[in-house]
Amino acid sequence: MSDPDTKEQVLLSCPFCEFEEYDSEFLSQHVAYCHPEDPDVASQSTYTHQSLTAAEEDRRATQADESLTVLDNMEDLYTPCPHGCGETVAKAELQLHLDLHVAESIALNETGGLHLQSVDSDDDGRIDRSSEDKNGNDDEDLHQDDLVVHGKDIVLKGKDTDNHRRKKKDVSKSSQHGNKGTRRLGRKELGPYAHEKRMPSWLQKLLLSGHIENTQTKIGPNGSLIKEKDLSENETSRVIPTLIELCRHDTSIQRAFFCSPRVRHIFKFMREGGFCGYRNIQMLISHIIDARRPGYEHFSGRIPSILELQDMIEQAWDMGFNSSGRIETGGIKGTRKYIGTPEAQALFQSLGIKCIPGAFASTGGFRAYDMLLQDVANYFRSGCPASLLDSDEKILETDLPPVYLQHQGHSLTIVGFEINSAGSADLLVFDPMFRTSPAIQRLIGKFVRPSDPSRILKAWRRGPPYLQKYKEFEVLKLVPE
């Protein structure tokens, strides 16, 4: 028989995730900290305020609460972006994140004097040009001990990276037996919402409403009416031809390679959070659709929404493709859990779209980012004829697909590779965390030559200062056909 003086404890649940707690005050603190972006938090969390019993006070004073430890760990790892983009950023990445916000917001008139130069583009978005700048000197010397420039190529000094690279995992299908050692991942891998059951309803509505494509009726060349689909508000096309011209006029660049211009820059909505993996998948799909690569027929000319991609990944797991991902994530449908290379690979392979994964880890004196840079350089070289590689051509354009790149906590889409006159290398990327800058938007279609192209390019470059912070990288390459 229970003691009538002891109040029965009631297990309270968070309305936004699977977190549960007997302590109503601590549950309120959890809601306020973990779900501050939800506009309904203030009204929905008031029910949790109840008076504490003496027994609850004693328990708090004498027993370490596992949930408190988890929350403390989260606070140690992540912080909301003070810029207001809605991203929960790893504290170690905050300064870089804010710097890129500055680069993202650069307008053309902030880059110095302008030199007008009209350009015409062909059907592929490539730009015709009649002159080329002479190479100059870079103001920064980004030192790399292992990477050296050989002519206009970049190689690891006296070493063969193939012998030191982590083995590529061919995980096109995983058996039930192969999942026995699989463990559930936590916040470090899946982000601050690793244990979320379902994302807030306002966010689902945002993802759905922002994905609606508008159709406009325009007058065609012969006077007839034609219907054209507008891109979604978070998509920008024809960015690569503009980046090409900026690199061409950047005197610090010795040589630059670019993938196919048929890929869109797709970025997150304000307050969306960390859906970078899905956004990078969408960018690869935009290339498949716009370049009519094998598999384009699966998408009916439309890029799937994040919610649709979640369904497609779960279906790929059902088919046996990288099915351990379901155990590791606990399922992703309707949640904000981070995804990565295995989920992207599973989705494409379930549709019969060929892709090749790769991984690089710092080991035996080799830095992961050195191996990554050489691998990307070799990838772009593979898309160029030998005659161009041996020429003095500064900009080498290819028809290669873009490359999915994953590192701890974030993913990007690689669209180019450059070597500067100081002998350092940079990746040129589409980062889904940042919008297409106003400067790029203005340059698309009619190039206006700025006096300082490197300032505009900063938002699109990821070099050694960025890459050296990570000990592991994964890539996913669509197979060119």
Task: Determine contact, residues 268/471, Cβ cutoff 8 Å.
Answer: no
**CA max distance for the chain:** 93
- What's the rounded Cα separation, in Å, for the pair 216 and 156? 52
pLDDT band at 55 (very low <50, low <70, confident <90, very high): very low
On the question of pLDDT at 65 being above 60, the answer is no
Q: How far apart are CA 404 and CA 479, in angstroms?
A: 12
Question: At residue 38, does pLDDT exceed 80?
Answer: no
Rounded (10°) angle between helices 276-290 and 306-318: 90
- pLDDT: is 144 or 417 the higher one? 417
Mean pLDDT, residues 312-341 taken together = 96
Q: Identify the pLDDT of residue 213.
A: 53
Sign of the dihedral defined by the CA atoms of residues 85, 416, 191, 347, in that order:
positive
Residues 459, 98 contacting (CB under 8 angstroms): no
- The span from the CA of 357 to the CA of 341, in Å, is 8
Q: Which residues of 291-324 are buried (b: 16+ CB within 10 A; e: fewer)?
A: bebebbebeeeebbbbbbbbebbbebbeeebbbb
Q: How confident is the model at residue 365 (pLDDT cuts 50, 70, 90)?
A: confident
- C-alpha span between 405 and 410 (Å, rounded): 9
Q: Which CATH number fits domain 102-478: 1.20.1090.10, 3.90.1150.10, 2.40.10.120, 3.90.70.130?
A: 3.90.70.130
Distance CA 288, CA 172 (A): 20
Instruction: Tell me how far apart the alpha carbons of residues 323 and 308 are, in angstroms, rounded to a whole number.
Output: 18
Q: Domain segments of the chain: what residues?
A: 12-91, 102-478
Least confident of 14-28, 379-393, 439-453: 14-28
- Whether residue 116 contacts residue 331, with contact meaning beta carbons closer than 8 Å, is answered with no
Residue 35 binned pLDDT confidence (cut-offs 50, 70, 90): low
Intra-chain end-to-end CA distance of the chain, in Å: 75
Under 8 Å between Cβ of 426 and 417: yes
Torsion sign (Cα): 247, 249, 251, 254: positive
CB-CB contact of 353 with 361 (8 Å): no
Residue 354 has pLDDT above 60, yes or no: yes
Q: Does the structure show a pLDDT above 50 at 19?
A: yes
Whether the per-residue pLDDT at 98 is higher than 70: the answer is yes
Determine the 3-state secondary structure of 278 from DSSP. Answer: helix
Sorting pLDDT into bands at 50, 70 and 90, what band is 447? confident
Q: What is the pTM of this model?
A: 0.71
Q: Do the Cβ atoms of 272 and 232 come closer than 8 Å?
A: no
Report the relative pairing of strands 395-397 and 403-407 from DSSP bridges.
unpaired
Is residue 20's pLDDT more than 50? yes
Residue (of 406, 467, 403, 367) closest to 164 by Cα position: 367
Instruction: List Cβ neighbours of 438 (8 Å cut-off, separation of 6 or more).
Output: 105, 106, 107, 108
**Beta carbons within 8 Å of 64's beta carbon, 6+ residues apart:** none
Average pLDDT over the chain reads: 76
Which of the pair, 83 or 355, is modelled with greater confidence?
A: 355
Ramachandran angles phi, psi of 50, nearest 5°: -135, 155
In sequence order, what are the residues at sequence separation of 6 or more whose Cβ sits closer than 8 angstroms to the Cβ of residue 391? none
Q: Can you tell me the mean pLDDT for 151-167?
A: 44
| Separation of alpha carbons 257 and 396, rounded Å | 5
Q: What is the pLDDT of residues 244-271, one digit of tens each?
A: 999 999 999 999 999 999 999 999 887 7
Give the angle 408-412-418 at the CA atoms, nearest 5°: 115
Q: Name residue, tokens 């500064």.
A: 394
Please, are residues 400 and 415 in contact by the beta-carbon 8 Å criterion?
no
Closest to 138 measured CA to CA, from 454, 476, 460 = 454
Question: Contact at 8 Å (CB) between 253 and 149?
Answer: no
Residues of the chain with pLDDT > 90, as a percent, come to 44
Q: Give the pLDDT score at 110.
A: 52
Judged by average pLDDT, the poorest of 64-78, 285-299, 318-332 is 64-78
On the question of pLDDT at 317 being above 80, the answer is yes
Structure tokens at 52: 């504490």
Phi first, then psi: give them for residue 464, nearest 5 degrees.
Answer: -50, -40
pLDDT at 71: 44
